[in-house]
Amino acid sequence: MNRARAVVELLAVVLVTGLAVAPGPATAPAVADNGLARTPPMGWNSWNAYGCDIDQDKIRAAVDALVTTGMREAGYRYVAIDDCWQADARTDTGALRADPTRFPDGIKALADHAHAVGLDLGLYATPGTRTCANIYAGYPGRLGSLGHERQDAATFAAWGVDYLKYDWCLAEQDGVDPQAGFTLMRDALAATGRPVVYSVHRQPQQPVDRWRPAVANLWRTTGDISADWGSVLDVLDRQVGLERYSRPGAWNDPDMLEVGNGPLTLAEDRAQFSLWALLNAPLLAGNDLTTMPESVRAVLTNPEVIAVDQDWAGTQGYRVFDDGDHEIWRKPLSGGDSAVVLLNRGTSAATVTATAEQLGFPGVTGFGLHDLWTGQTTTTRAGTISVSVPPHGVVFYRVSPDRG
**Residues 184, 9: contact at Cβ < 8 Å?**
yes
Amino acid sitting at position 204? P
Task: Identify the CA nearest to 199 among candidates 213, 185, 180, 218.
Answer: 218
Kindly write down the DSSP assignment for every residue of 97-156, as one continuous string. Answer: -B-TTT-TTHHHHHHHHHHHTT-EEEEEE-SSSS-HHHHHS--SS----TT-HHHHHHHH
342 CA to centre of own chain: 23
**Residues 371, 377: contact at Cβ < 8 Å?**
yes
- Measured CA to CA, the distance from residue 95 to residue 196 in angstroms comes to 19
- Measured CA to CA, the distance from residue 331 to residue 327 in angstroms comes to 14
Q: How many residues does the chain have?
A: 404
Beta bridge partners of 121: 79
How many helices, marked H, and strands, marked E, lie in the chain? 14, 16
Backbone dihedral angles phi then psi of residue 122, each to the nearest 5 degrees? -115, 160
Question: H or E element: which one contains 73?
Answer: helix 71-74
Catalytic residue, candidates 53, 88, 224, 237: 224
Tell me whether residue 350 is exposed, middle or buried, using C-beta atoms within 10 angstroms of its C-beta: 0 to 12, 13 to 18, 19 or more: middle
- Measured CA to CA, the distance from residue 144 to residue 49 in angstroms comes to 23
Residues 6+ apart with CB under 8 A from 136: none
- Angle of helix 2-17 relative to helix 178-192, nearest 10 degrees? 40
Whether 120 is catalytic: no
Whether 224 is catalytic: yes
Using alpha carbons only, give the angle 14, 16, 20 rounded to the nearest 5 degrees.
Answer: 20
Catalytic residue, candidates 167, 187, 253, 337: 167
- Measured CA to CA, the distance from residue 275 to residue 255 in angstroms comes to 12
Residues with catalytic function: 167, 224
